[in-house]
Amino acid sequence: MKKNVLAKKIVFFTILVLVWQAISMSDVWPNNIFPSPYEVGEDLVYMAADGSLFFGIATSIMRLAVGLGIAIVGGVVLGIFMARVETVNQTIGSLVLGLQSIPSIAWVPLAILWFGLTDGGIIFVTAIGAIFAVTINTYTGVKNIDPHYVEAARNMGAKGTQLTTNVLIPAAFPYMITGFKQGWAFAWRGVIGAELLFSFLGLGFLLNVGRQLNDVSQVIAIMLVIMLIGMAVDGFIFKKIENKVMSRWGLR
């Protein structure tokens, strides 16, 4: 990042915080509705100091990782099946499109029913929120594979699993990355939403505690944390993978 861009950013965010502080100090809204950045910062420091913040982050990220992992594996397998076996596409495919439009939060009651109050339940909600985005993108990716790749590979003796791992998956990878990214966005929403409703550890739980105790500054503090983690994952993990894949495939 060039120096002057960084400077602009610093100035911008400083102004933002100052305006926020000014609004909260003026009496437009009482403090219980609109806390000051100072209070929010205090809450963050306090939660960091007693360790609950880091425990919450670790818990949420662990669940996210497992849930997203399941979604990726499951979605890729399902997507490949749908793309390669027409009957699977015609049957399960239409179900997938439907399930994809159920908000993951709607699964919470059933998750509690089926998994109880366990990490399993939250992971289920996370995974089911993300899996169909992965599935649909994998499906599109495999469908769009240049048929010459597949024919060349078959001609050179690839078949079955060999064909899948050596050709189908790498060839569909640029699309799959998009699916992973979308999946991650849904999974992150899913994990926070589920924790909020399950109220069983994690950042969503901390958000809920803030809410239950009508502590707005804790709510905002946790939202900031959620946002920072989201930015980090987007900016470091996905941007990197995407750039690498895109340049490797000669797409940019």
In degrees, to the nearest 5, what angle opens at C-alpha 182 toward C-alphas 179 and 187?
115
Question: Closest approach of Cβ 107 to its own copies, in Å?
Answer: 8
Give the nearer residue to other proteins in terms of CB position, either 140 or 199. 199
- 140, 175 in Cβ contact below 8 A? yes
The item of other proteins, its own copies, none sharing an interface with residue 162, based on CB under 5 to 8 Å by kind, is other proteins
Q: Which range, of 64-72, 91-99, 156-164, 242-250, touches its own copies by CB under 8 A? A: 91-99
Instruction: Select the residue interacting with its own copies from 164, 173, 230, 241 (CB under 8 A).
Output: 230
Min dist. Cβ of residue 113 to other proteins (A) = 5
**Partner from other proteins, its own copies, none binding residue 26, C-beta < 5-8 Å depending on class:** none
Q: Is 117 in the site for its own copies (CB under 8 A)?
A: no
- Tell me if 216 sits within 8 A of 171, measured CB to CB: no
Neighbours of 78 (CB within 10 A): 21
Distances (CA, A) of 34 to 9, 27, 65, 218: 24, 10, 34, 12
Q: Which residues bind other proteins (CB under 8 A)?
A: 30-33, 46-47, 50, 52, 109, 112-118, 120, 146, 148-149, 151-158, 162, 166-167, 170-171, 173, 197-200, 208-209, 211-216, 247-250
Contacts with its own copies, 174-203, as mask; x by CB under 8 A: --------x--x--xxx-xx--xx------
Q: Does 8 bind its own copies (CB under 8 A)?
A: yes
Q: Which does 87 bind (CB under 5 to 8 A by kind): its own copies, other proteins, none?
A: its own copies
Distance of CA 186 to the CA centre of its chain: 5
Please give the angle made by the CA atoms of 170, 147 and 74, to the nearest 5 degrees: 40
Burial 158-184 (b: 16+ CB within 10 A, else e): beeeebbeebbbbbbbbbbbbbbbbbb
C-beta of 201: minimal distance to other proteins in Å?
8
Rule CB under 8 A: choose which of 46, 54, 114, 249 binds its own copies: 114
Query: Which string of DSSP letters, residue by residue, matches 127-182?
Result: HHHHHHHHHHHHHHHHHTS-HHHHHHHHHTT--HHHHIIIIIHHHHHHHHHHHHHH
List, in sequence order, the alpha helices (H) in the chain.
Answer: 3-25, 37-49, 52-84, 86-88, 94-100, 108-115, 119-143, 147-155, 160-163, 169-198, 203-212, 216-232, 239-248
Q: Binding of its own copies at residue 28 (CB under 8 A)? A: no
Decide: is 106 part of the binding site for its own copies (CB under 8 A): yes
Interface residues toward its own copies, by CB under 8 A: 5, 8-9, 12-13, 16, 33-34, 87, 90-92, 94-95, 97-107, 109-110, 113-114, 182, 185, 188-190, 192-193, 196-197, 204, 207, 210-211, 216, 219-220, 222-223, 226-231, 233-235
